[in-house]
Amino acid sequence: MSRQILWKSCLIIATGLVVFFYVLSVLTLKTEEGIRC
Q: Say what the pLDDT of residue 22 is.
A: 97
- Note the pLDDT tens digit of each residue in 1-37: 689 999 999 999 999 999 999 999 999 988 887 777 6
Q: How many structural domains comprise the chain?
A: 1
Measured CA to CA, the distance from residue 33 to residue 17 in angstroms comes to 24
Q: What is the pLDDT of residue 6?
A: 94
pTM of the predicted protein model = 0.64
Tell me what pLDDT residue 35 has: 74
Tell me the three-class secondary structure of 17-28, residue by residue. HHHHHHHHHHHH
pLDDT at 32: 80
Domain that holds residue 12: 1-36
